[in-house]
Structure 1
Amino acid sequence: MQRGKGMKFVGDSRIKQGPTVSRIPKDYSEYPGRTEAFWPNFLLKEWLAGAVFLIGFLILTLAHPSPLEGLADPTDAAYIPLPDWYFLFLYELLKYEFASGNYILLGMLGIPGIAFGALLLAPFLDNGPGRRPHQRPIAVGMMLLGLASVIWLTYTSAAAVDWESRAEANKPVPPSDDVDVVIDTDHPGYEVYETSCLACHGAELEGTAAPALYGPEFDHTAEEIADISVNGIGAMPPDQFTGTDEELEQLVDFILSVNESIEEE
């Protein structure tokens, strides 16, 4: 008899045979209404949502273009810089008493660090298996609180700024080379101009750190000049002029006299 013939292999009855586990994943069609094919169903929905957002964003930029200011001028000490719109909520936070002054580090690092850290920890604090909002109250609540805070602070900060006037006031106005400006140093308003305006508007009103006070871009009336001198405009802060009412009238008359001399020429 050849070796191996007639031999039988018998399993040990003491060892229980476990269930056979399939390594092949089930097809999504076995879960009707709960799953869908990644291609093309899921990707088509994502592309459609992205296209709607992109078209809406393009329409918004065409209907209401963003006001752009002039080139940055490091010599303009009166210019008040503002962050981009997506950082305005942090800028607005620093205006509150508990996040400014002696508590500036709390406003700069403490509160934003706690807020962003909480959002990072939200998935770990609420790691339930469900995906619906009511099944994950902690994560959803923290996200809604953060979103509402950012929207409110951004809106509050943006509403306090006249963006159109700010952009118009900060447009670069190059001095005209063909204009011969005559400065009457004996005018009673010249001394007032030297004290309050010369540092930013130049010795001949040509504009250095601030716009020129003559030319086609300067079309203010006497009342408007007096109001701007006291209350400011755009990047020009208020209270730049601190003299008397008589000195204010002399200053306005001096600026208008320079413009009248240019028009006569």
Structure 2
Amino acid sequence: MHKGKGMKFVGDSRVTDPSSRPKKTPKDYSEYPGKTEAFWPDFLLKEWLVGAVFLVGYLVLTVAHPSPLERPADPADTGYIPVPDWYFLFLYQLLKYEFASGPFNVIGAIIMPGLAFGALLLVPFLDTSKERSPFKRPLPTGFMLLALASMIYLTWESVVNHDWEAAAEYGKIKEEVSVEFDETSEGYELYQASSCIGCHGNAFEGGLGKPLIGLDYTADEIVNIAHEGLGGMPGGTYTGTEEELHKLAEFITTLQPAE
């Protein structure tokens, strides 16, 4: 290297000054001066970033709080009360009211939700104002607030009125205990005709009530429990005769776990 000679920097004409780049704004921005931005990529990039944050949040929630597993569904078991996912609880609660259930089930299941969602779909066509302030658009704002308030109220009512502890106990996965019994016997026919089967299961496996297999009670004690109740089991629910109740109690004492 010769003395007096130093390094030289060569500029690249392909690299431009960011301040000299043209802004990607629509040609017509007179409607909202200073508030308009290019749809691609500026607006979509913001939407994707917000969507990614929510997606990551949902993934974290699903990992931290996985869906609970319950025992296998039994179509013959009428004691279990199924509940839909939380975002359908407001419709589930609506079907509990007299004007939307029973013979009027079509009104609660189809007509009322159809009118509500149809009104929300028609709002953009009924209100064509270019105002962005919600106070200057009373029609769509009113519809949205009414729909939101209705959904929150019905969802809250559904959550408050449901017995979640009993449902969790009923759906708990339990060790299956089988029992051999004669399905043609008089005792089992009396059991099927009684209200006991709704709580204690089709095969005495239990549900809302305790399992009836291997009980450490005599027939007289079982009759007494049927009359007076025990724990969470109410008394006086058996509607048959006293003789039939004694036959049913004798049958229950014979239920022992299969080897």
Considering only aligned residues, what root-mean-square deviation do their CA atoms show, in Å? 4.7
> 1:226 maps to what in 2?
230
Provide closer, same or farther for how the CA distance between residues 211 and 41 of structure 1 changes in structure 2, counting only shifts above 3 A. Answer: farther
The question of whether the paired residues in 1 share the 8 Å contact of 2:71 and 2:173 is answered with yes
Instruction: Call closer, same or farther: CA 1:208–1:62 in 2, change over 3 Å.
Output: closer
SS at match of 1:82: coil
Q: Which residue of 2 aligns with 1:147?
A: 148
Residue of structure 2 equivalent to 1:122: 123
Shift of 1:123: 1.1
8 A contact 2:29–2:36 mirrored in 1: yes
Alpha-carbon shift at residue 172 of structure 1 (Å): 4.4
1: distance between equivalents of 2:150 and 2:40? 38
Matched-pair contact (CA < 8 Å) for 2:201–2:207 = yes
Looking at structure 1, the residues matched to 102 and 180 of structure 2 have their Cα atoms a distance apart, in angstroms, of 49
- AA matched with 2:98: E
C-alpha separation between the residues in 2 aligned to 1:119 and 1:166? 35
In the alignment, is the contact (CA less than 8 A) between 2:81 and 2:167 conserved in 1? no
Aligned AA for 2:162?
A: V
| 1:94 Cα deviation from its structure 2 partner | 1.9
Tell me which amino acid in the other structure corresponds to 1:230.
P
Measured against aligned partners, the alpha-carbon deviations of 1:180-208 in whole angstroms (never above 9, x if no partner) come to 99xxxxxxxx9x978753674456x4459
TM value normalised by structure 1: 0.58
1:230 counterpart SS class: coil
Q: Rg bigger for which structure?
A: 1
Instruction: Give the 3-state SS of the residue equivalent to 1:229 in structure 2.
Output: coil
Q: 2:162 is matched with which residue? A: 161
Change beyond 3 A, Cα 1:208–1:140: closer
Which residues in structure 2 correspond to 1:147-226 (within 5 Å)?
147-176=148-177, 196=194, 197=196, 200-201=200-201, 205-206=204-205, 212-213=211-212, 226=230
What residue in structure 2 maps to residue 38 of structure 1?
A: 39
* CA 1:74–1:209: 2 relative to 1, 3 Å: farther
Q: Find out whether 1:131 has 2:132 as its counterpart.
A: yes
Q: Distance in 2 between matches of 1:201 and 1:59?
A: 38
Report the more deviating stretch, 97-106 or 114-123. 97-106
Higher relative contact order (CA 8 A, sep 6+): 1
Offset at 1:63?
4.5
Query: Per-residue deviation at 1:34?
Result: 1.5
1:157 Cα shift?
A: 0.7
Aligned residue pairs total 212
Change (3 A) 1:208 1:128: closer
**Structure 1: which 4+ aligned runs deviate by more than 6 Å?**
192-195, 208-211
Question: Separation in 1 of the partners of 2:62 and 2:89?
Answer: 19
Residue 90 in structure 1 maps to residue 88 in structure 2: no
The change in CA–CA distance for 1:89 and 1:209 in structure 2 (over 3 A counts) is closer
